Amino acid sequence: MDQKKVLSLEDRIPKIKEHRKRKANRRLIFLISLFFLLILLVIYFQSPLSHVSEIKVKGNESVPDQTIIKRSGLKSGDNIWKLDKKKAVQKLEDHQEVKHAKVKIAFPNTVYLQIQEYKTIAYVLTGTEFHPILENGLIVESSPKGGVPVNAPILSNFKEDAILENMAKELKELKPEIVNVISEIHYTPKKTDKYHITLFMNDGFEVSATILTFSEKMVHYPSIVSQLDPKVKGVIDMEVGSFFKAYETKGASGEGEQQE
């Protein structure tokens, strides 16, 4: 029994030594790898790879790339790990046309500025130039490239104030298919309604409405028009109820009358 135990222990000694050797080798490999990794990191931080080589802009349509890059405060050569992304985002979102912004880093040294602009919902005519009106009610100073889109309503007699802001909010609530049929919106205030507006539609009809209930009333425009004779043009009054008055008659026509 004792001899068998001794032999068994002697047989195990080489295996124990081999196990310890493998463990020591693994530890050595780990330390060597860690050493070289630290060297590589030092080289990386000292090399141009750790500095911004390119800044790319995505998502912008109206604001030029260079304007976005300049406003962000980021520039080529900055240490990519010391970029103040929060501050850059704040600067970008301070731009009147930028709704949201994100700063992303792509390995090894490219920075992406992801931009979401406020939508252009209409245009206002100032002198001989058209200026975009954003969904937040702001008028953009720059003129649109390539002229004014065919389906964009043209606003007249508006100023950059609460009235225009409310008008922008109401337009934003409408479906594109309804906005696209609006040709012009004129601000025509009355003594009894400072929010009164007159619309000229692409289908030849005229609409009398108030900004306060504009989106609520205009939702029914396609239904109202579908009940009218397309050859007989006139005014669709949406101030209180909804009724149609042909141009060639002075009285209100019962045709297509909509009460709300």
Is pLDDT at 205 greater than 70 in this prediction? yes
Say whether both 181 and 230 belong to one domain: yes
Is pLDDT at 6 greater than 80 in this prediction? no
CB atoms closer than 10 angstroms to residue 59: 16
Tell the residue number behind the tokens 């406003």, with chain if given.
71
- The total of structural domains in the chain comes to 2
Share of the chain above pLDDT 70, in %: 84
Is pLDDT at 66 greater than 90 in this prediction? yes
Report the distance separating Cα 92 and Cα 102, nearest Å.
9
Say whether both 125 and 240 belong to one domain: yes
Is pLDDT at 250 greater than 80 in this prediction? no
Is pLDDT at 222 greater than 90 in this prediction? yes
Flag whether 149 is in a domain. Answer: yes
Say whether both 89 and 158 belong to one domain: no
- Give the ranges where 76-196 is alpha helix by DSSP (H): 85-93, 162-173, 176-179
pLDDT at 147: 62
Query: What is the domain-level CATH number for residue 98?
Result: 3.10.20.310
Say whether both 239 and 146 belong to one domain: yes
Q: Which of 53, 51, 55, 109 is nearest to 78 (CA)?
A: 51
Two structure tokens written together for 11: 């047989």
CB-based contacts of 119, cutoff 8 Å, min separation 6: 134, 135, 172
Beta bridge partners of 253: 244
* Single residue among 92, 117, 142 that ends a domain in this structure: 117
Say whether both 225 and 155 belong to one domain: yes
pLDDT in tens, 135-190: 887 888 776 665 666 678 999 998 878 898 899 999 989 998 999 999 999 999 99
Say whether both 107 and 188 belong to one domain: no
Is pLDDT at 1 greater than 60 in this prediction? no
CA atoms within 13 A on the CB side of 224: 27
Domain, as residue range, for 144:
120-246
Per-residue confidence band for 34, with pLDDT thresholds at 50, 70 and 90: confident
Say whether both 55 and 148 belong to one domain: no
Report the distance separating Cα 154 and Cα 81, nearest Å.
47
Query: What is the domain-level CATH number for residue 190?
Result: 3.40.50.10960
Count, residues in the chain: 260
Of 73-82, 85-94, 240-249, the range with the lowest mean pLDDT is: 240-249
Flag whether 238 is in a domain. Answer: yes
pLDDT at 47: 73
pLDDT at 167: 92
- Is 13 or 206 the better-scoring residue by pLDDT? 206
